[in-house]
């Protein structure tokens, strides 16, 4: 009951107002006045309940976020027509949910659990995502709620729970990945801390090459020697597995010997520097490498790489030539010309951003100027260059319309927090009512840990091809 009592009795540094003054503010025609009252923690419960039905969504959003709001009003707001109101409510209730169970006998706790359960099934992805991100680290979060979120069809909802939640047991995770419908569940599970042998076996036995790549790169994952050997046998067909394999915390001499037969030249030195192999075992590895060198294998690879570069250069010359030639006037060519122009515009925008960055001219003013001129392609390219993140990952962030994701991207790009608001609306298409605004002093509204997690999540999506 402590958490519920704190919602009502938490003391804030607010200048006290009388009950009559509060009633007068609640009846004010000015939504800003009613909004200020809705944010106060000393406002009487009945007035907060009254404001939960306010015609202005901003007032209801303040009521949803106010910890002093009575649970009865929270229940009312679970059916609010505005997604941002339900999103604010979801975040607050999720924070208060530690220790709740489906069998609550206390009326207020039962109502809070029911409200959370309803929001966890909300039709708006954003609302469910808020609950997922809030509960992902809570050890005593309600188990049925966690189970519901872990099986969500949206990766932004199930991902944080599958990757981080301590509530899920190994048996839970095995059951979930067994019934996975291809939404990337395996990739999220494979990145968990201390993945056990059973889980590792299940992931390794799958056809999900991206999930296996994440598993091999997870230094805390417990992979049996037999399982690792089986993956090494499959690895020649999957170059993306090679680096995490040679950098596994523990390799048997047999595994190291197998890897030496096919990994690229730059990874051989990683094998040779391993400290868990004895001198004679390292010599066996070097012997395999010497045979490959003597056979001319690496020289052949260099020739192939050189040929590939030449082909690419020839293609670029041909493209330049095509651009220099006059465009066809034929109407039948119009669609093809437009498509080619659209493809050509993306790369120059990124190249322009790279060139300006190299000259230290890619500043926040240039990004703001691009937004004002509606130069979306250059603005997106600038974010990718400034943040040091692939354009594909930037697209993943922006296309999910996640305020937290876009804010984290702007932060990574080193842009001012007030510019992040414009980026949320202009590039991320986040509704103005749902944007995250700067704190006092133009500070970012999220912690660095939260923003780093957001970026890790979306870059992981881009790497694994999740949509």
pLDDT of residue 323: 56
- pLDDT for 395 equals 85
pTM value? 0.62
pLDDT at 157: 94
Q: What pLDDT was estimated at residue 317? A: 64
- Report pLDDT for 312: 52
Q: What is the mean pLDDT of each run of 10 residues along the chain (467 residues)?
A: 46 78 95 96 95 96 96 96 95 92 92 96 95 95 95 92 96 88 80 95 90 94 93 89 91 86 79 80 77 65 48 58 53 42 58 88 92 89 90 84 88 92 88 82 84 76 47
> Following DSSP, what letter does each residue of 41-62 receive, concatenated?
SSS-HHHHHHHTT-SSHHHHHH
pLDDT at 442: 80
3-state secondary structure 188-224: HHHCCCCCCHHHHHHHHCCCCHHHHHHHHHCCCCCCC
The DSSP code for 443 is B
Query: What six digits make up the tokens of 186?
Result: 């395996």
> Phi first, then psi: what are they for 17, rounded to 5°?
-125, 155
Q: CA dihedral in degrees (131, 135, 140, 144; nearest 10)?
A: 40
DSSP-derived secondary structure for 332-348:
GGHHHHHHHHHHHHHHH
């Amino acid at each position: 009951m402590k958490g519920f009592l704190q919602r009502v009795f938490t003391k804030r540094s607010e200048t006290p107002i009388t009950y009559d003054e509060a009633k007068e503010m609640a009846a004010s025609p000015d939504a800003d006045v009613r909004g200020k009252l809705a944010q106060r923690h000393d406002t009487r419960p009945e007035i907060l309940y009254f404001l939960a039905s306010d015609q202005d969504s901003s007032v209801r959003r303040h009521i949803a976020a106010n910890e002093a709001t009575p649970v009865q009003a929270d229940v009312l707001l679970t059916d609010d027509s505005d997604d941002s109101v339900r999103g604010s409510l979801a975040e607050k209730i999720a924070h208060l949910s530690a220790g709740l169970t489906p069998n609550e006998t206390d009326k207020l706790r039962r109502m809070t659990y029911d409200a959370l359960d309803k929001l966890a099934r909300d039709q708006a992805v954003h609302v469910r995502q808020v609950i997922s991100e809030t509960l992902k680290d809570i050890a005593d979060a309600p188990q049925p709620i966690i189970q519901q979120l872990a099986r969500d069809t949206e990766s932004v909802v199930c991902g944080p729970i599958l990757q981080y939640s301590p509530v899920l047991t190994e048996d839970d995770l095995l059951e979930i990945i067994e019934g996975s419908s291809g939404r990337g569940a395996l990739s999220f599970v494979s990145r968990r801390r201390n993945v056990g042998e059973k889980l590792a076996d299940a992931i390794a036995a799958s056809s999900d090459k991206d999930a296996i790549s994440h598993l091999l790169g997870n230094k805390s994952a417990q992979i049996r020697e037999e399982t690792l050997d089986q993956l090494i046998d499959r690895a020649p067909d999957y170059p993306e597995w090679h680096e995490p394999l040679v950098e596994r915390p523990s390799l048997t001499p047999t595994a190291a010997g197998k890897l030496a037969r096919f990994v690229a030249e730059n990874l051989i030195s990683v094998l040779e520097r391993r400290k868990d192999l004895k001198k004679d075992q390292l010599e066996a590895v070097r012997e395999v490498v010497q045979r490959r060198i003597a056979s001319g294998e690496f020289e052949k690879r260099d020739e192939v790489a050189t040929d590939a570069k030449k082909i690419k250069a020839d293609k670029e010359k041909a493209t330049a030539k095509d651009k220099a030639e006059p465009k066809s006037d034929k109407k039948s060519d119009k669609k093809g010309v437009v498509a080619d122009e659209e493809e050509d515009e993306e790369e120059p925008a990124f190249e322009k951003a790279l060139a300006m960055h190299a000259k230290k001219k890619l500043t926040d003013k240039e990004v703001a100027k691009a937004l004002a001129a509606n130069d979306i392609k250059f603005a997106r390219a600038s974010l990718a260059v400034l943040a040091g993140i692939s354009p594909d990952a930037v697209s993943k962030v922006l296309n999910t319309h996640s305020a937290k994701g876009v804010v984290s991207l702007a932060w990574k790009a080193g842009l001012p927090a007030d510019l992040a608001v414009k980026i949320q609306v202009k590039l991320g298409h986040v509704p103005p009512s749902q944007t995250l605004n700067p704190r006092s002093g133009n500070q970012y509204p999220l912690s660095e840990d939260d923003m780093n997690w957001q970026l890790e999540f979306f870059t992981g999506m881009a790497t694994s091809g999740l949509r």
